[in-house]
Structure 1
Amino acid sequence: MRVSIITLFLLIAGVRLAGAQTQSTSPAPTKAEQEIINLSKAKWTWMADKNVDSLNVLFDEKAVFVHMGGSWGKPQEINVIKSGGIWYKKADVYSTSVNIFGGTAILLNDIDLLAVVGGNEVVHAFMVTEVYVKENGKWKMGSLTFSQLLRPVKMEVPGKK
């Protein structure tokens, strides 16, 4: 009996150790998930370049934008970008995840954002939530939310320490 218990214990411990040593890897994104990831990457470029024409097509008419300083709709976001009220200068994306539920996609980006806000250059760590809705075969952004993270900024900014 004692040998059986010891054998069982060693077997369970061995299985647990073997499981702990297997490397956890995320599966490759599906075609739809990759489409959302690519759209998000393009959006960061368009925002940095102040390409309001492309952003105007991407943003749904009822889209909402949540920032540290408040929330507003599409016309205000387009105007803020166009006027330079917020210049999304550079986003370093450290991780991205996408979940798709029917015709809705939710993307999370862990980023450091270098921006110019009211003429002042700032860098913040954010978890950005992007919600996309598929309408007539095309993905439209329904929401963009910046949630400040408490982790240190990783981005190297010239002239700043």
Structure 2
Amino acid sequence: MKQSKTKLLVFMCILFGLQWSVAQEVDTKKEIKELSMKKWQWMADKNADSLAILFHDKAKFVHMGGTWGKDREVDIIKSGGIHYKKADVHEVMIEVLNEYTAIIWNRITLVAVVGGNEVTNPFMVTEVYTKENDTWKLADLTFSKLLVRE
């Protein structure tokens, strides 16, 4: 009888642990999705100060025109060198790798002003977030242009 109670207790602990783990992942996915959507709005609003806080100091940004770090990206947004006017998000996929790393893929249509010209492009955007001191930081933002299918 004692063995049965012990086995039941172990099973209940495992089950509770799994439920807690799944709940944590769901919460993290929701938090990352909300943060990503805020980022698109901050980019549209040219809110460079909020973006500077969100971007990791070692972050990389991959665009059709090149790759650069945090300071240049913030300066480009602040100056209007690239104005991310509107990101229509069509699809969102999120993977939480562990308690410190999450990746989000957004399929978007981006309306931007680049070099004074308004352009519209379909992209798959990859965002990598890392958690430091209980705060999510964007460590990578990569734009991959999608081919338009007729």
TM class by smaller structure: 0.7 to 0.9
Quote the residue 2:145 is aligned against: 148
- Alpha-carbon shift at residue 152 of structure 1 (Å): 5.0
> How many residues end up aligned between the 2 structures?
126
Q: In structure 2, how many angstroms separate the alpha carbons of the residues matched to 1:152 and 1:138?
A: 39
Q: Deviations over 1:95-115 (max 9, x none)?
A: 001001111100000000000
TM-score normalized with structure 1 length: 0.76
TM-score normalized with structure 2 length: 0.81
Corresponding letter in the other structure for 2:110: L
SS in 2 for 1:30: helix
Superposition pairs of residues 104-119 of structure 1, within 5 angstroms: 104-119=101-116
Q: In structure 2, how many angstroms separate the alpha carbons of the residues matched to 1:84 and 1:115?
A: 10
Quote the residue 2:18 is aligned against: none
1:92 corresponds, among 82, 88, 92, to 88
Quote the residue 1:11 is aligned against: none
Superposition pairs of residues 64-143 of structure 1, within 5 angstroms: 64-102=60-98, 103-143=100-140
Q: Is residue 125–residue 152 contact of structure 1 (8 Å, CA) maintained in 2?
A: no
* CA pair 92-152 structure 1, distance change in 2 beyond 3 A: farther
Q: Which runs of 5+ in 2 are unaligned?
A: 1-22
* CA pair 152-125 structure 1, distance change in 2 beyond 3 A: farther
Q: In structure 2, how many angstroms separate the alpha carbons of the residues matched to 1:95 and 1:70?
A: 25
Percent identity between the two aligned chains: 59
Quote the residue 2:32 is aligned against: 36
Q: Is residue 88–residue 114 contact of structure 1 (8 Å, CA) maintained in 2?
A: yes
Q: In structure 1, how many angstroms separate the alpha carbons of the residues matched to 2:102 and 2:148?
A: 26
Q: Deviations over 1:13-60 (max 9, x none)?
A: xxxxxxxxxxxxxxx971100000000000000000000110010000
Q: In structure 2, how many angstroms separate the alpha carbons of the residues matched to 1:82 and 1:152?
A: 34
Q: Which runs of 5+ in 1 are unaligned?
A: 1-27, 154-161
Root mean square deviation of aligned Cα? 1.5
Q: Deviations over 1:65-122 (max 9, x none)?
A: 0000000000000000001000000000000010011111000000000000000000
Correspondence 1:61 to 2:57: yes
Superposition pairs of residues 9-48 of structure 1, within 5 angstroms: 30-48=26-44
Q: In structure 1, how many angstroms separate the alpha carbons of the residues matched to 2:88 and 2:43?
A: 13
- Alpha-carbon shift at residue 151 of structure 1 (Å): 2.3
